[in-house]
């Protein structure tokens, strides 16, 4: 009887899950859907390919909204060859009677049509009750807006995506030696795709799943204690605990093994020139290939990415007793300079320019570029 009930319930759930994501699409190709208010765009012209927007000052476009369902994410299909920070804007009178709430996002310039997915479910300011909604572009923007899609997922889909996000792994980063986030829960595929691009990740800790199961299990066993006895109830609770431990170990062990797989796939099995190592990308290739040039140099100039000193420390460690320098009197005595992840070039006078500043004057020349990020320069005097 109970088996029949279970199967019937599952079959009843099928149409709900099969209904898939609910999409609300505004297509700008050929005509402009709904009424928009344009502010400070120089050009906002409807074309067969989409809405062409040109700005010489910061501008925005808004429309009155009345979302019928909760909006969890937005996809914007557009074309622009400019990289810029654009902004989603909406009106929420519970936050501010006047003005608009802003949600910046990055557009990477490309000749191709691109789709930018934006998760709103993890924004503490987003509301589907917004009375106005729109887009803002910075001055100088030249964008062809093609389509906006508003997504809503039903509760079963959210559960499904939550389960998938539980098993989505982080990567081995510099913080992994201090902490690992572990399972994390987001409830739509757009949030899941980007959940680890920031710390802490988007969503909520998946540890709550364990605690909720333990709480229910504990309560059930407390209730059963009278019939089963305290010792048996305690043993059952600890067995439940053990099962959750095993699941958790499987989850985290798999994550650690995914670090191993990434290292083998991107570094161990690749040859020099093709290797990429975690967040440091081709830095090991740069260090390996520059060793031959600096092996007899007591000092050499080194500039790594600006946001961390670990690259400098790695160079100091790898080349000791030959020392990297980035400052001080010895700079102009160094015969070689290595840069990684910095805009570096030799100007017409032979000076080494890093991020627009002269860091070493003299008769320098580019010796070799190792890859997209690394360069080595040589100085004759």
Partner 1 sequence: MSSIWIIPGLALPTVIGWLILRILEGKTPVLFKWERWIMGFVLGLTFTMFITFLIHITTEMPLNRMGYLGVQLVLTLLIGIVWKIKVPSTKCQTNILTWNLELGTWNLELSRPLKIIISILLTWTIVKILLTGVTFLLLTPPFLGDTVDNWNLRGKIFFSEQKIVLSYPNPKGELATGEINTYPPAVPMTKASFASIAGTWSEPLVNVVHLLWYLAAIALLFFSLRRVTSTLWSLGGTYILASLPLYLIHGTNPYADVYLSVHIFTAISMLFHAITTNDSSQRQSFLRLSAFATAILPFTKNEALIIHTPTILLVLVISLLWMKRKKTMSRNECVQTLLWYAGLLAAVAIPWIAFKWMNNLTFGNAQSLSGINIEWHPGVLKAIAINTFLESNWLLLFPLLIFLLIIKKHIAFKTPLVILTGFFLIVYLGQFPLYMFTFLSTEALYQTGYARGLIHLAPVVVMVVTVLLSHCFSHNNRK
Q: For binding to partner 1 (CB under 8 A), which residues are involved?
A: 172, 174-183, 205, 207-208, 210-211, 214, 231, 234-235, 238, 241, 244-246, 248-249, 251-253, 255-257, 259-260, 263-264, 267-268, 277-278, 280, 284, 287, 299, 310, 312-314, 316-318, 320-321, 323-330
Q: How far is the CB of 297 from partner 1 (least distance, A)?
A: 11
Is the Cβ of residue 189 or residue 201 nearer to partner 1 in the bound state? Answer: 201
Is the Cβ of residue 23 or residue 249 nearer to partner 1 in the bound state? Answer: 249
Is the Cβ of residue 134 or residue 201 nearer to partner 1 in the bound state? Answer: 201
Rounded distance, CA 349 to CA 161, Å?
58
User: CB of 258 within 8 A of CB of 176?
Assistant: no
Asked if omega into 100 is within 30° of 0 (cis), the reply is no
Give, in degrees to the nearest 5, the angle at Cα 275 between 271 and 277: 145
Rounded distance, CA 265 to CA 259, Å?
10
Is the Cβ of residue 67 or residue 277 nearer to partner 1 in the bound state? Answer: 277
Rounded distance, CA 354 to CA 361, Å?
12
Q: How far is the CB of 260 from partner 1 (least distance, A)?
A: 5
Is the Cβ of residue 4 or residue 231 nearer to partner 1 in the bound state? Answer: 231
Q: Which residues neighbour 213 within 8 Å (Cβ) at sequence distance 6 or greater?
A: 240, 244
Is the Cβ of residue 138 or residue 218 nearer to partner 1 in the bound state? Answer: 218
User: CB of 154 within 8 A of CB of 16?
Assistant: yes
Q: How far is the CB of 132 from partner 1 (least distance, A)?
A: 36
Q: How far is the CB of 155 from partner 1 (least distance, A)?
A: 24
Helix H or strand E segment including 221: helix 207-228
User: Which residue in 364, 224, 367, 212 sits closest to 294, CA to CA?
Assistant: 367
Rounded distance, CA 202 to CA 18, Å?
26
What would the two tokens of residue 115 be? 């789709």
Is the Cβ of residue 109 or residue 253 nearer to partner 1 in the bound state? Answer: 253
Q: How far is the CB of 333 from partner 1 (least distance, A)?
A: 9
Q: How far is the CB of 120 from partner 1 (least distance, A)?
A: 23
Q: How far is the CB of 190 from partner 1 (least distance, A)?
A: 24
For every residue of 1-50, DSSP letters joined together read -HHHHHHHHHHHHHHHHHT--EEEEEE-SSS--S--EEES-SEEEEETTE
């Amino acid at each position: 009887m109970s088996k029949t009930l279970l199967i019937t319930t599952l079959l009843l759930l099928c149409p709900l899950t099969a209904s898939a994501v609910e999409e609300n699409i505004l297509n700008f190709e050929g005509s402009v859907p709904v009424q928009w208010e344009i502010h400070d765009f120089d050009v906002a012209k409807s074309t067969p390919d989409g809405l062409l927007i040109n700005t010489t000052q910061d501008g925005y476009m808004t429309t009155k909204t009345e979302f019928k369902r909760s909006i969890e994410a937005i996809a914007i299909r557009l074309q622009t060859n400019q990289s810029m920070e654009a902004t989603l804007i909406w009106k929420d009178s519970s936050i501010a009677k006047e003005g608009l709430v802003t949600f910046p996002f990055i557009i990477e310039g490309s000749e191709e049509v691109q789709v930018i997915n934006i998760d709103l479910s993890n924004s503490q300011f987003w509301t589907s009750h917004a009375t106005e909604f729109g887009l803002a572009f910075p001055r100088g923007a030249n964008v062809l807006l093609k389509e906006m899609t508003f997504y809503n997922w039903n509760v079963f889909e959210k559960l499904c995506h939550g389960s998938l996000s539980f098993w989505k792994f982080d990567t081995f980063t510099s913080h992994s030696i201090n902490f690992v986030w572990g399972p994390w829960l987001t409830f739509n595929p757009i949030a899941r795709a980007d959940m680890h691009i920031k710390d802490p990740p988007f969503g909520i800790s998946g540890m709550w799943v364990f605690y909720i199961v333990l709480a229910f299990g504990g309560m059930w066993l407390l209730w059963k204690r009278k019939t089963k006895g305290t010792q048996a109830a305690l043993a059952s609770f600890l067995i439940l605990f053990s099962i959750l431990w095993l699941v958790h170990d499987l989850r985290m062990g798999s994550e650690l093994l995914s670090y191993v797989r990434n290292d083998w796939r991107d570094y161990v099995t690749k040859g020099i020139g093709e290797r990429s190592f975690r967040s440091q990308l081709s830095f090991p290739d740069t260090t390996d290939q520059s060793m031959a040039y600096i092996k007899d140099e007591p000092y050499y100039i080194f500039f790594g990415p600006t946001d961390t000193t670990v690259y400098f420390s790695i160079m100091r460690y790898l080349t000791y007793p030959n020392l990297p320098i980035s400052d001080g009197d010895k700079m102009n005595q160094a015969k070689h300079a290595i840069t990684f992840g910095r805009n570096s070039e030799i100007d017409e006078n032979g000076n080494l320019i890093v991020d627009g500043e002269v860091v070493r004057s003299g008769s320098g020349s580019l010796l070799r570029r190792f890859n997209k990020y690394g360069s080595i320069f040589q100085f004759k005097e």
